[in-house]
Protein backbone atom coordinates (compact mmCIF):
# COMPACT_ATOMS: atom_id res chain seq x y z
CA UNK A 1 0.00 0.00 0.00
CA UNK A 2 2.83 2.33 0.89
CA UNK A 3 4.50 1.59 -2.40
CA UNK A 4 1.26 2.26 -4.19
CA UNK A 5 0.91 5.61 -2.46
CA UNK A 6 4.45 6.45 -3.49
CA UNK A 7 3.66 5.54 -7.07
CA UNK A 8 0.57 7.76 -7.03
CA UNK A 9 2.60 10.56 -5.50
CA UNK A 10 5.33 10.32 -8.15
CA UNK A 11 2.72 10.30 -10.90
CA UNK A 12 1.00 13.26 -9.32
CA UNK A 13 4.26 15.18 -9.13
CA UNK A 14 4.99 14.38 -12.76
CA UNK A 15 1.55 15.65 -13.74
CA UNK A 16 2.13 18.89 -11.82
CA UNK A 17 5.53 19.25 -13.49
CA UNK A 18 3.95 18.80 -16.92
CA UNK A 19 1.39 21.44 -16.02
CA UNK A 20 4.18 23.78 -14.98
CA UNK A 21 5.96 23.36 -18.32
CA UNK A 22 2.70 23.85 -20.18
CA UNK A 23 1.83 26.91 -18.13
CA UNK A 24 5.24 28.34 -18.89
CA UNK A 25 4.72 27.82 -22.62
CA UNK A 26 1.22 29.29 -22.51
CA UNK A 27 2.32 32.22 -20.38
CA UNK A 28 5.25 32.96 -22.68
CA UNK A 29 2.99 32.84 -25.71
CA UNK A 30 0.55 35.22 -24.12
CA UNK A 31 3.46 37.50 -23.33
CA UNK A 32 4.35 37.68 -27.02
CA UNK A 33 0.96 39.03 -27.99
CA UNK A 34 1.58 42.58 -29.14
CA UNK A 35 0.50 45.06 -26.48
CA UNK A 36 -0.30 44.24 -22.87
CA UNK A 37 -3.36 44.43 -20.70
CA UNK A 38 -2.66 47.94 -19.51
CA UNK A 39 -2.36 49.35 -23.02
CA UNK A 40 -5.50 47.57 -24.07
CA UNK A 41 -7.53 48.85 -21.17
CA UNK A 42 -6.28 52.37 -21.58
CA UNK A 43 -6.89 52.21 -25.32
CA UNK A 44 -10.45 51.24 -24.53
CA UNK A 45 -10.81 54.24 -22.26
CA UNK A 46 -9.45 56.37 -25.05
CA UNK A 47 -12.34 55.39 -27.25
CA UNK A 48 -14.67 56.57 -24.48
CA UNK A 49 -13.38 60.09 -24.87
CA UNK A 50 -10.91 60.46 -22.02
CA UNK A 51 -7.42 61.64 -22.85
CA UNK A 52 -4.68 59.14 -22.12
CA UNK A 53 -1.02 59.85 -21.50
CA UNK A 54 2.01 57.61 -21.24
CA UNK A 55 1.93 58.16 -17.49
CA UNK A 56 -1.59 56.72 -17.31
CA UNK A 57 -0.44 53.58 -19.09
CA UNK A 58 2.49 53.26 -16.68
CA UNK A 59 0.19 53.72 -13.69
CA UNK A 60 -2.17 51.06 -15.00
CA UNK A 61 0.81 48.76 -15.51
CA UNK A 62 1.85 49.19 -11.90
CA UNK A 63 -1.71 48.58 -10.77
CA UNK A 64 -1.87 45.31 -12.74
CA UNK A 65 1.61 44.31 -11.61
CA UNK A 66 2.92 44.28 -15.17
CA UNK A 67 6.08 46.15 -14.17
CA UNK A 68 7.37 43.15 -12.22
CA UNK A 69 9.93 40.84 -13.84
CA UNK A 70 8.67 38.15 -16.16
CA UNK A 71 9.44 35.10 -14.01
CA UNK A 72 7.88 36.63 -10.94
CA UNK A 73 4.65 37.32 -12.80
CA UNK A 74 4.63 33.77 -14.12
CA UNK A 75 5.05 32.52 -10.56
CA UNK A 76 2.14 34.60 -9.33
CA UNK A 77 -0.01 33.57 -12.26
CA UNK A 78 0.63 29.87 -11.81
CA UNK A 79 0.19 30.12 -8.03
CA UNK A 80 -3.21 31.70 -8.48
CA UNK A 81 -4.11 29.39 -11.36
CA UNK A 82 -3.73 26.32 -9.19
CA UNK A 83 -6.22 27.90 -6.82
CA UNK A 84 -8.66 28.48 -9.65
CA UNK A 85 -8.07 32.20 -9.95
CA UNK A 86 -6.96 33.43 -13.35
CA UNK A 87 -7.20 37.15 -12.74
CA UNK A 88 -9.37 39.52 -14.70
CA UNK A 89 -10.06 39.42 -18.39
CA UNK A 90 -8.20 42.15 -20.27
CA UNK A 91 -11.11 43.36 -22.30
CA UNK A 92 -14.21 42.40 -20.39
CA UNK A 93 -12.84 43.42 -16.98
CA UNK A 94 -14.57 40.50 -15.31
CA UNK A 95 -12.99 37.82 -13.20
CA UNK A 96 -12.17 34.98 -15.55
CA UNK A 97 -13.26 32.27 -13.14
CA UNK A 98 -16.68 33.89 -13.02
CA UNK A 99 -16.84 34.37 -16.78
CA UNK A 100 -15.69 30.88 -17.60
CA UNK A 101 -16.96 28.73 -14.74
CA UNK A 102 -20.15 27.21 -16.05
CA UNK A 103 -19.15 27.37 -19.70
CA UNK A 104 -15.99 25.41 -19.09
CA UNK A 105 -17.88 22.65 -17.29
CA UNK A 106 -20.40 22.48 -20.12
CA UNK A 107 -17.55 22.10 -22.62
CA UNK A 108 -15.81 19.50 -20.53
CA UNK A 109 -19.08 17.62 -20.13
CA UNK A 110 -19.70 17.63 -23.86
CA UNK A 111 -16.15 16.45 -24.61
CA UNK A 112 -16.19 13.69 -22.01
CA UNK A 113 -19.57 12.47 -23.22
CA UNK A 114 -18.23 12.24 -26.76
CA UNK A 115 -15.24 10.31 -25.45
CA UNK A 116 -17.57 7.88 -23.68
CA UNK A 117 -19.80 7.64 -26.75
CA UNK A 118 -16.78 6.96 -28.96
CA UNK A 119 -15.65 4.03 -26.83
CA UNK A 120 -19.17 2.70 -26.32
CA UNK A 121 -19.27 2.29 -30.09
CA UNK A 122 -15.62 1.44 -30.67
CA UNK A 123 -15.15 -1.33 -28.08
CA UNK A 124 -17.80 -3.79 -29.33
CA UNK A 125 -17.32 -2.89 -32.99
CA UNK A 126 -13.54 -3.14 -32.78
CA UNK A 127 -13.64 -6.47 -30.98
CA UNK A 128 -16.16 -7.94 -33.39
CA UNK A 129 -14.23 -6.80 -36.44
CA UNK A 130 -10.95 -8.13 -35.06
CA UNK A 131 -12.40 -11.57 -34.47
CA UNK A 132 -14.64 -11.94 -37.50
CA UNK A 133 -13.33 -13.02 -40.86
CA UNK A 134 -16.09 -11.42 -42.91
CA UNK A 135 -14.45 -9.27 -45.58
CA UNK A 136 -17.63 -7.22 -46.07
CA UNK A 137 -17.71 -6.20 -42.42
CA UNK A 138 -14.00 -5.50 -42.28
CA UNK A 139 -13.90 -3.46 -45.44
CA UNK A 140 -16.93 -1.38 -44.56
CA UNK A 141 -15.45 -0.68 -41.12
CA UNK A 142 -12.20 0.31 -42.75
CA UNK A 143 -14.05 2.68 -45.03
CA UNK A 144 -15.90 4.23 -42.07
CA UNK A 145 -12.72 4.76 -40.12
CA UNK A 146 -10.99 6.27 -43.15
CA UNK A 147 -13.92 8.61 -43.55
CA UNK A 148 -13.56 9.53 -39.92
CA UNK A 149 -10.01 10.60 -40.71
CA UNK A 150 -10.71 12.33 -43.99
CA UNK A 151 -13.93 14.11 -43.13
CA UNK A 152 -12.84 16.31 -40.25
CA UNK A 153 -15.46 17.09 -37.64
CA UNK A 154 -16.01 20.62 -38.77
CA UNK A 155 -16.76 19.53 -42.32
CA UNK A 156 -19.14 16.96 -40.91
CA UNK A 157 -20.82 19.68 -38.88
CA UNK A 158 -21.13 21.81 -42.00
CA UNK A 159 -22.64 18.91 -43.92
CA UNK A 160 -25.15 18.21 -41.16
CA UNK A 161 -26.09 21.87 -41.12
CA UNK A 162 -26.48 21.90 -44.88
CA UNK A 163 -28.68 18.81 -44.91
CA UNK A 164 -30.78 19.79 -41.91
CA UNK A 165 -31.37 23.26 -43.33
CA UNK A 166 -32.55 21.82 -46.61
CA UNK A 167 -34.70 19.10 -45.05
CA UNK A 168 -36.03 20.64 -41.84
CA UNK A 169 -35.40 24.34 -42.32
CA UNK A 170 -33.58 24.42 -38.97
CA UNK A 171 -29.82 24.44 -38.73
CA UNK A 172 -29.83 22.73 -35.28
CA UNK A 173 -27.39 25.20 -33.83
CA UNK A 174 -26.93 26.61 -30.33
CA UNK A 175 -26.88 24.94 -26.93
CA UNK A 176 -30.09 26.39 -25.58
CA UNK A 177 -33.28 27.55 -27.20
CA UNK A 178 -34.09 31.21 -26.86
CA UNK A 179 -36.31 31.03 -23.77
CA UNK A 180 -33.76 29.09 -21.72
CA UNK A 181 -30.59 30.89 -22.72
CA UNK A 182 -30.28 33.03 -19.60
CA UNK A 183 -32.56 31.11 -17.29
CA UNK A 184 -31.11 29.48 -14.17
CA UNK A 185 -30.59 25.72 -14.21
CA UNK A 186 -33.81 23.77 -13.83
CA UNK A 187 -35.23 20.48 -15.00
CA UNK A 188 -36.75 22.11 -18.06
CA UNK A 189 -33.54 23.89 -18.95
CA UNK A 190 -31.66 20.63 -18.56
CA UNK A 191 -34.09 18.91 -20.92
CA UNK A 192 -33.71 21.71 -23.41
CA UNK A 193 -29.93 21.51 -23.13
CA UNK A 194 -29.90 17.74 -23.64
CA UNK A 195 -32.20 17.98 -26.63
CA UNK A 196 -29.59 20.16 -28.32
CA UNK A 197 -26.31 18.92 -26.88
CA UNK A 198 -26.51 15.53 -28.60
CA UNK A 199 -25.44 17.06 -31.90
CA UNK A 200 -22.10 18.52 -30.74
CA UNK A 201 -21.49 15.34 -28.77
CA UNK A 202 -22.10 13.24 -31.85
CA UNK A 203 -19.99 15.46 -34.09
CA UNK A 204 -17.08 15.58 -31.65
CA UNK A 205 -17.26 11.82 -31.23
CA UNK A 206 -17.14 11.23 -34.98
CA UNK A 207 -13.42 11.09 -35.65
CA UNK A 208 -12.63 9.94 -32.11
CA UNK A 209 -14.75 6.88 -32.83
CA UNK A 210 -12.93 6.24 -36.07
CA UNK A 211 -9.57 6.40 -34.30
CA UNK A 212 -10.81 4.30 -31.40
CA UNK A 213 -12.16 1.56 -33.66
CA UNK A 214 -8.80 1.35 -35.40
CA UNK A 215 -6.93 1.15 -32.11
CA UNK A 216 -9.22 -1.45 -30.55
CA UNK A 217 -9.18 -3.54 -33.70
CA UNK A 218 -5.39 -3.47 -34.05
CA UNK A 219 -4.82 -4.32 -30.38
CA UNK A 220 -7.39 -7.10 -30.39
CA UNK A 221 -6.14 -8.72 -33.59
CA UNK A 222 -2.64 -8.72 -32.08
CA UNK A 223 -3.93 -10.55 -29.01
CA UNK A 224 -6.45 -13.09 -30.38
CA UNK A 225 -3.77 -15.24 -32.03
CA UNK A 226 -1.57 -15.53 -28.97
CA UNK A 227 -0.95 -18.84 -27.28
CA UNK A 228 -2.73 -18.06 -24.02
CA UNK A 229 -5.95 -17.61 -25.98
CA UNK A 230 -5.44 -20.97 -27.65
CA UNK A 231 -4.73 -22.49 -24.25
CA UNK A 232 -7.94 -21.05 -22.86
CA UNK A 233 -9.82 -22.40 -25.87
CA UNK A 234 -8.32 -25.81 -25.26
CA UNK A 235 -9.68 -25.70 -21.75
CA UNK A 236 -13.11 -25.19 -23.21
CA UNK A 237 -13.68 -21.46 -22.78
CA UNK A 238 -15.44 -20.23 -25.86
CA UNK A 239 -17.36 -17.37 -27.39
CA UNK A 240 -17.91 -14.06 -25.70
CA UNK A 241 -16.62 -15.32 -22.38
CA UNK A 242 -13.30 -16.18 -23.96
CA UNK A 243 -12.95 -12.79 -25.63
CA UNK A 244 -13.85 -10.76 -22.55
CA UNK A 245 -11.80 -12.76 -20.11
CA UNK A 246 -8.58 -13.10 -22.07
CA UNK A 247 -7.61 -10.97 -25.08
CA UNK A 248 -9.91 -8.01 -24.31
CA UNK A 249 -8.32 -7.55 -20.90
CA UNK A 250 -4.87 -7.43 -22.39
CA UNK A 251 -5.93 -5.01 -25.09
CA UNK A 252 -7.59 -2.73 -22.56
CA UNK A 253 -4.34 -1.47 -21.03
CA UNK A 254 -3.04 0.55 -23.98
CA UNK A 255 -6.56 1.83 -24.65
CA UNK A 256 -6.92 3.22 -21.14
CA UNK A 257 -3.47 4.72 -21.56
CA UNK A 258 -4.39 6.54 -24.74
CA UNK A 259 -7.58 8.14 -23.36
CA UNK A 260 -5.72 11.36 -22.63
CA UNK A 261 -4.71 11.73 -26.26
CA UNK A 262 -8.23 11.02 -27.39
CA UNK A 263 -9.45 13.85 -25.19
CA UNK A 264 -6.72 16.02 -26.68
CA UNK A 265 -8.02 15.26 -30.15
CA UNK A 266 -11.56 16.12 -29.12
CA UNK A 267 -10.46 19.43 -27.59
CA UNK A 268 -8.76 20.25 -30.87
CA UNK A 269 -12.08 20.32 -32.62
CA UNK A 270 -14.02 21.99 -29.84
CA UNK A 271 -13.49 25.66 -30.76
CA UNK A 272 -14.25 25.15 -34.44
CA UNK A 273 -17.37 23.14 -33.74
CA UNK A 274 -18.39 25.87 -31.31
CA UNK A 275 -18.15 28.44 -34.09
CA UNK A 276 -20.10 26.40 -36.59
CA UNK A 277 -22.86 25.33 -34.25
CA UNK A 278 -22.80 28.70 -32.42
CA UNK A 279 -22.39 27.03 -29.08
CA UNK A 280 -21.92 29.31 -26.11
CA UNK A 281 -19.21 27.33 -24.36
CA UNK A 282 -15.53 27.68 -23.54
CA UNK A 283 -14.52 26.87 -27.12
CA UNK A 284 -16.47 29.83 -28.42
CA UNK A 285 -14.95 32.05 -25.75
CA UNK A 286 -11.48 30.93 -26.78
CA UNK A 287 -12.08 31.92 -30.39
CA UNK A 288 -13.64 35.15 -29.23
CA UNK A 289 -10.59 35.86 -27.08
CA UNK A 290 -8.08 35.00 -29.79
CA UNK A 291 -9.61 35.99 -33.06
CA UNK A 292 -11.58 39.07 -32.16
CA UNK A 293 -10.55 40.77 -28.95
CA UNK A 294 -6.94 39.59 -28.45
CA UNK A 295 -7.71 38.90 -24.80
CA UNK A 296 -4.52 37.14 -23.72
CA UNK A 297 -5.54 36.52 -20.11
CA UNK A 298 -8.73 34.74 -21.09
CA UNK A 299 -7.14 32.73 -23.90
CA UNK A 300 -4.27 31.64 -21.68
CA UNK A 301 -6.66 30.55 -18.96
CA UNK A 302 -8.75 28.46 -21.36
CA UNK A 303 -5.76 26.72 -22.95
CA UNK A 304 -4.34 26.06 -19.50
CA UNK A 305 -7.63 24.58 -18.30
CA UNK A 306 -7.98 22.37 -21.38
CA UNK A 307 -4.45 21.05 -20.95
CA UNK A 308 -5.05 20.70 -17.23
CA UNK A 309 -8.01 18.41 -17.82
CA UNK A 310 -5.95 16.28 -20.20
CA UNK A 311 -3.13 15.98 -17.66
CA UNK A 312 -5.64 15.11 -14.94
CA UNK A 313 -7.20 12.44 -17.11
CA UNK A 314 -3.74 11.03 -17.88
CA UNK A 315 -2.99 10.90 -14.16
CA UNK A 316 -6.30 9.18 -13.39
CA UNK A 317 -5.84 6.61 -16.14
CA UNK A 318 -2.33 5.86 -14.87
CA UNK A 319 -3.70 5.18 -11.39
CA UNK A 320 -6.67 3.25 -12.77
CA UNK A 321 -4.39 1.09 -14.86
CA UNK A 322 -2.23 0.33 -11.84
CA UNK A 323 -5.32 -0.76 -9.93
CA UNK A 324 -6.84 -2.83 -12.72
CA UNK A 325 -3.83 -4.36 -14.43
CA UNK A 326 -1.95 -6.88 -12.28
CA UNK A 327 1.16 -6.57 -14.49
CA UNK A 328 1.48 -2.86 -13.83
CA UNK A 329 0.61 -3.41 -10.18
CA UNK A 330 3.32 -5.99 -9.68
CA UNK A 331 5.88 -3.69 -11.28
CA UNK A 332 5.07 -1.02 -8.67
CA UNK A 333 4.63 -3.21 -5.62
CA UNK A 334 7.76 -5.29 -5.68
Partner 1 sequence: MTDTNTISAGADQKLKEAYFTASQGQLIWSRFKKQKAAMAGAWVLLILILSGLFAPFLTPYSPTLSGRDKDYQNGAPQIPILWDENGFSARPFIYTYERERSFKTNFRWVSTINRDKRRYMTLFPKGEKYTLFGISFERHLFGVDKGKIHIFGTDSTGKDIFSRTLHAINTSLAVGTIGVAIAFVMALIIGGISGYYGGWIDSVLQMITDAIRTVPAIPLFMAIAAFIPSEWSSEERFFFISIVLGFINWPTLARRVRTHLLTERNQEYVLAAQLCGASANHIIRKHLLPSFTSYIIVDLVISFPYMVLSETALSFIGLGLRDPVNSLGVMLQNVTNADVLLNYQWYFIPVIFFIALVLAFVFVGDGLRDAADPYGDTKK
Which is nearer to partner 1, 9 or 162 (by Cβ)?
A: 162
Q: Which residues contact 125 (CB under 8 A, 6 or more apart)?
A: 141, 213, 216
Which is nearer to partner 1, 251 or 302 (by Cβ)?
A: 302
Question: Could you tell me the smallest distance in angstroms from the CB atom of residue 242 to partner 1?
Answer: 20
Chain residues binding partner 1 by CB under 8 A are 17-18, 21-22, 25-26, 29-30, 32-34, 146-147, 149-152, 154-155, 158-159, 161-162, 165-166, 171, 225, 260-261, 264-265, 267-272, 275-276, 286-287, 290-291, 294, 299-300, 302-303, 306-307, 310-311, 314
The 3-state secondary structure of 247-301, one letter per residue: HHHHHHHHHHHCHHHHHHHHHHHHHHHHHHCCCCCHHHHHHHHHHHCCCHHHHHH
Question: Could you tell me the smallest distance in angstroms from the CB atom of residue 207 to partner 1?
Answer: 10
Check if the beta carbon of residue 210 is closer than 8 Å to that of residue 149.
Answer: yes
Which is nearer to partner 1, 235 or 292 (by Cβ)?
A: 292
Question: Could you tell me the smallest distance in angstroms from the CB atom of residue 224 to partner 1?
Answer: 11
Question: Could you tell me the smallest distance in angstroms from the CB atom of residue 222 to partner 1?
Answer: 10
Which is nearer to partner 1, 47 or 53 (by Cβ)?
A: 47
Which is nearer to partner 1, 21 or 323 (by Cβ)?
A: 21
Nearest residue to 180 (alpha-carbon basis) of 194, 161, 170, 200: 194
Question: Could you tell me the smallest distance in angstroms from the CB atom of residue 17 to partner 1?
Answer: 7
Q: Which residues contact 93 (CB under 8 A, 6 or more apart)?
A: 41
Q: Maximum Cα–Cα distance for the chain, whole Å?
A: 87
Check if the beta carbon of residue 37 is closer than 8 Å to that of residue 64.
Answer: yes
Amino acid sequence: MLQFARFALVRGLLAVLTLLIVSFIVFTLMEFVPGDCAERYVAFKNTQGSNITIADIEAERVRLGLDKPYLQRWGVWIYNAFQGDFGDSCILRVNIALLLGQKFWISLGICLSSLVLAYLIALPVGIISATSNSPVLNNSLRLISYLGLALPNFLLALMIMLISTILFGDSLTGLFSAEYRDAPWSVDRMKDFLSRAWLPVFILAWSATAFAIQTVRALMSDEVDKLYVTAAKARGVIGRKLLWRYPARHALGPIVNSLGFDLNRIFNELPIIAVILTLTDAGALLIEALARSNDQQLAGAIIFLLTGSIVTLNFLTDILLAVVDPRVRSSIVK
